[in-house]
Structure 1
Amino acid sequence: MATYIEETKKHFQSNGRTKEMSAHNAKVHSVAWSCDGRMLASGSFDKTVGLFNLDKDKIRLETTYRGHTDSVDQLCWHPSNPEQFVTASADKTIRIWDVRSSKSVAAVNTKGENINICWSPDGHTIAVGNKEDLVTFVDARTHKPKAEEQFKYEVNEISWNNTNDLFFLTNGHGNINILSYPELKPLTMLRAHPANCICIEFDPTGKYFATGSADALVSLWDVAELVCIRTFSRLDWPVRTISFSHNGKLLASASEDLLIDIAEVETGEKVAEVSIEAPSFTIAWHPSRYLLAFACEDKDKYNRDRDAGTVKLFGLPSDV
């Protein structure tokens, strides 16, 4: 009987095609899937948001949203409503979008240039962090800020745990800070990496979370014990973005290396890799399939001074 790793390697051998979609006029900063996997959204330096529709193995750009007046740096979808997502921009606002509308349904003013955003698992709260390390908590129903927390350290990425009662931050000292939620009382600090701890992601099963660091390592942590289980070390450059597959069995990680590493979580063994031509700072697994959306700092084929602004999808059948 073939092992899971063997089966998965075989899957990607026959489903290893990457499709490239033109979406923006400048660098793509963020890609994310709706919870039902029908929609993929992308945010760009060109101030726009692209919305793609996935139908079986066909994906097409459906809408381009405008409204932000500066770079769209990160976006995320409502955890259970497949029609709503939120964007964080350097224009000192966040915008909430509904795919049934041609414009944003709400714009919330914030106190700085926003660089990271996440939606609480219960769908009630949106947390947004800015360049001054201020995190603002916005009521997702009233669109009004309900709390804010100023941190004395560099906050890189933020996330709730899957049970909505803890709030995690990665910081510039290589640590993970954990706060109670909603009280926002500091509970503990994990010394995760010797260098800047850049990104954090919880696996869908709630068993693990992972962090990526400037030391080029990805660390896998046990949620219940808060201990590091293993590290993944195939990349040579700072790990900028990580993503767990829908079943929590695969972990993809990307950096300035010209590949995206796909590892089996339980062993750390390489299952596949995606060859790329430029650094990638955003990746996202589909919520129910082995399809990986990502974007790179590609240049236009005909004008190397211009960004390509493309969004890519890996994991499509090779014979199509």
Structure 2
Amino acid sequence: MLGAVSGLPPRFIVKTARPGTPRACPVTSQLIGLLSFLQASSLSGLAEALLSPPRLRPLFREFRRGVASGKRVPRGFPSSFTTLPEVDPPSRPPAATPLRQAPPTRLRPSGSPPPPLVVAPACIPVVAVLVPEAGSAESFPREEARLCSPVSGVPLRSARVSVSTCVRAPAVSSAGPRGAIGGGAPGAPPPPMAAEIQPKPLTRKPILLQRMEGSQEVVNMAVIVPKEEGVISVSEDRTVRVWLKRDSGQYWPSIYHAMPSPCSCMSFNPETRRLSIGLDNGTISEFILHSDFNKFPPVYSSQPHQSRVTMILFVLELEWVLSTGQDKQFAWHCSESGQRLGGYRTSAVASGLQFDVETRHVFIGDHSGQVTILKLEQENCTLVTTFRGHTGGVTALCWDPVQRVLFSGSSDHSVIMWDIGGRKGTAIELQGHNDKVQALSYAQHTRQLISCGGDGGIVVWNMDVERQETPEWLDSDSCQKCDQPFFWNFKQMWDSKKIGLRQHHCRKCGKAVCGKCSSKRSSIPLMGFEFEVRVCDSCHEAITDEERAPTATFHDSKHNIVHVHFDATRGWLLTSGTDKVIKLWDMTPVVS
């Protein structure tokens, strides 16, 4: 307690108690603890300057009020303090603290009697300096310490105390002063203050660079302008803003443009500076951003949808604009003329859209949890396949054209990696969010996936490891470990005269097991389970510590993220959320 009051770590202070002497007040303890620290850190000159009685007189008046008798001065104070004026003692003295004697030292020089026990007042913190005898061992089973007064520096009587961590002084010769702080043989190095403090390992986490506020409604989407200190954002308040970094280091809007309807999505091409904005009324407006970022004149507007535009993509190589809407329509039109080229009706409202330029395949994820692959031509499209793996709706898609892998995030809190290029139907499940996954971004140069969720979490997945596919859950009428019937197996329950049990599944082997045979929990990062999940007892014993090593890092953005944009050249991540705030992060500590 005294170390916490005085600001010193507890290892610098050894507290003893004297029967009949009350504890010091907090003000006195702070002063005495400060003096102890100054003397122990070889700042005795500063400590002596603070020991003048006129400066200490008000404090020691308060100290003398806490003494039961009001006349005794605890041992260890200089004799000059005995001349301070006495004050009336309190009417009810506090109870004394009993002294607990430490067990005797087991190791000491042969033939020497044990040193007497020191009785020090409870109000004085005593600095213990371990001074080994000349020619004796430096380590003791129970430390034998010499106690020094923190006020005067005068060594007290040698005591045998139990000290967890003390100040250890080097062995001194008979000519050097014994017990005083700083004493020792000539030329000897000063004693260290205490045991060496090991620095904590640095935690690698994203660095928040900027926080942009000012929108009146939710910021639906924001992108970083490559090679520039700029950000473009669209919001539900019908505004399009171009943020530029000023000389003050803050981002301020350079363009503030109001649209006729709330802005739902956008797509920006940095090479042509073409900005495509989707609106809530189904309209898509095209703009060209000037090089000075001070204005963007409109190019054209078209209305390919009858309701809100959910996603939009601009393909420079084909000069196409792809879009999906809440009218369950996927459409693409020419970016130069605005002429509609074709369309396709999805089974549910589409919420994810990705395109592969090389093969002209488009990937559409909808709220039913289905992912549709279409082959686009100039004026028509062909259905390639559909696949489903999520139990909730698809909320985000991300395509890696190099590895030919598609990532899908869902409202079921999971991310699935679909191996499209391998043509084997492999699907790797990633579980690392406590809420629905809202946005995905992939760093190709480091093979790391960034997923953001409604819980504000930013998860960085290492995809450069050999992951295992999640096994399918097996169906059975009884436990595949102990053969106990499940509660719907009435025949086996009647034959065995047992009550049916509830069915569970092991996440590692996929077998149907009862609760008794799957009482253990374990993380399986190589299967995508970063959190502990249910496994059967045999699989729990087979999982090694290496297999439990995490393959993802978790970070908190402290806002509900709805969209992210990653700039791989600088390692910056831009997040926009429902709290009307845009945050710019430096991801180089974690994405590298």
Q: How does the TM-score come out when normalised to structure 2? A: 0.41
1:181 aligns with 2:417: no
- For residue 196 of structure 1, what is the aligned residue in structure 2? 436
- Counterpart in the other structure of 2:346: 110
Q: Judge conservation of contact 1:35–1:77 (CA < 8 Å) in 2.
A: no
Tell whether the 8 Å contact from 1:21 to 1:60 is kept in structure 2 after alignment: no
Q: 1:263 is matched by which residue type in structure 2?
A: W
Aligned residue in 2 for 1:95: 331
For residues 62-82 of structure 1, the C-alpha deviation after alignment (integer angstroms, 9 at most, x for no partner) is 21111311221111222x527
1:267 Cα offset (Å): 2.6
5+ residue gaps, structure 1, are 270-320
Q: Which amino acid aligns with 1:178?
A: M
Question: Deviation at 1:53?
Answer: 0.6
What's the counterpart of residue 50 of structure 1? 285
Cα 1:133–1:101 shift into 2, 3 Å: same
Over alpha carbons, which structure has the higher Rg? 2
Q: Is the 8 A contact 1:162 1:206 kept in 2?
A: no
Per-residue deviation, residues 97-147 of structure 1 (Å, max 9, x unmatched)? 221113222222322322221112535111112222222111122522211
Over the matched positions of the two proteins, sequence identity in percent amounts to 11
Give the Cα separation in 1 of the matches to 2:424 and 2:579.
36
Task: For 2:290, give the aligned amino acid.
Answer: D
Quick one: distance in 2 between partners of 1:93 and 1:82?
A: 21
Q: Which residue of 2 aligns with 1:69?
A: 306
- How many residues are matched? 261
Q: Per the alignment, in what secondary structure is the counterpart of residue 43 of structure 1?
A: strand
Question: Is residue 124 of structure 1 aligned with residue 124 of structure 2?
Answer: no
The residue type paired with residue 577 of structure 2 is S
1:1-320 → structure 2 map (5 Å cutoff): 12-14=245-247, 16-18=251-253, 19-25=255-261, 27-34=262-269, 36-56=271-291, 57=293, 58-78=295-315, 80-81=316-317, 83-120=319-356, 122=358, 124-141=360-377, 142-154=380-392, 155-182=394-421, 183=423, 185-203=425-443, 205=445, 207-225=447-465, 230-236=553-559, 238-245=560-567, 247-267=569-589
1:169 Cα deviation (Å)?
Answer: 1.0
Secondary structure of 1:153's partner? coil
RCO greater where, 1 or 2, for CA within 8 Å and sep 6 or more?
1
Distance 1:106 1:147, change over 3 A: same
Confirm or deny: 8 A CA contact 1:97 1:104 kept in the other structure: yes
Answer 1 or 2: which has greater helix percent: 2
> Following the alignment from structure 2 to structure 1, what is the Cα–Cα distance between the partners of residues 411 and 284?
29
What RMSD over aligned residues (CA atoms) do the two structures have, in Å? 2.9
CA offset at residue 151 of structure 1?
A: 3.7
Between the aligned partners of 2:339 and 2:258, the Cα distance in structure 1 is 21
Alpha-carbon offset, residue 95 of structure 1: 1.0
Tell me the secondary structure at the aligned position of residue 289 of structure 2.
strand
Instruction: State the one-letter code of the partner of 1:143.
Output: C
CA shift digits 1:164-199 (9 cap, x unpaired): 521111122322111110537233111121222221
Instruction: Name the CA distance, whole Å, in 2 between partners of 1:246 and 1:59.
Output: 26
**Contact conserved, 1:77 with 1:86, CA < 8 A, in 2?**
yes
Q: Could you say if the C-alpha distance between residues 93 and 210 of structure 1 is closer, same or farther in structure 2, counting changes exceeding 3 Å?
A: same
Tell me what 2:141 maps to.
Answer: none
Shift of 1:16: 2.3
Where does the alignment leave 5 or more consecutive residues of structure 2 unmatched?
1-205, 211-227, 230-244, 468-549
Q: CA deviation at 1:246?
A: 5.2
Contact kept, 8 Å, 1:120 with 1:164, in 2: the verdict is no
- Pick closer, same or farther for the CA change 1:31–1:184 going to 2, 3 Å: farther
Amino acid aligned to 1:255: G
- Relative to structure 1, the CA distance from residue 173 to residue 140 in structure 2 (aligned partners, 3 Å threshold; closer, same or farther) is same
Kindly provide the CA deviation profile for residues 217-253 of structure 1, in whole angstroms up to 9, marking residues without a partner as x: 11222332377554442323x2111101251510011
Q: Could you say if the C-alpha distance between residues 240 and 184 of structure 1 is closer, same or farther in structure 2, counting changes exceeding 3 Å?
A: farther
Q: The residue matched to 1:55 in structure 2 has which SS?
A: coil
Amino acid at match of 1:242: V
Tell me the secondary structure at the aligned position of residue 336 of structure 2.
coil
SS of equivalent residue, structure 1 residue 105: strand
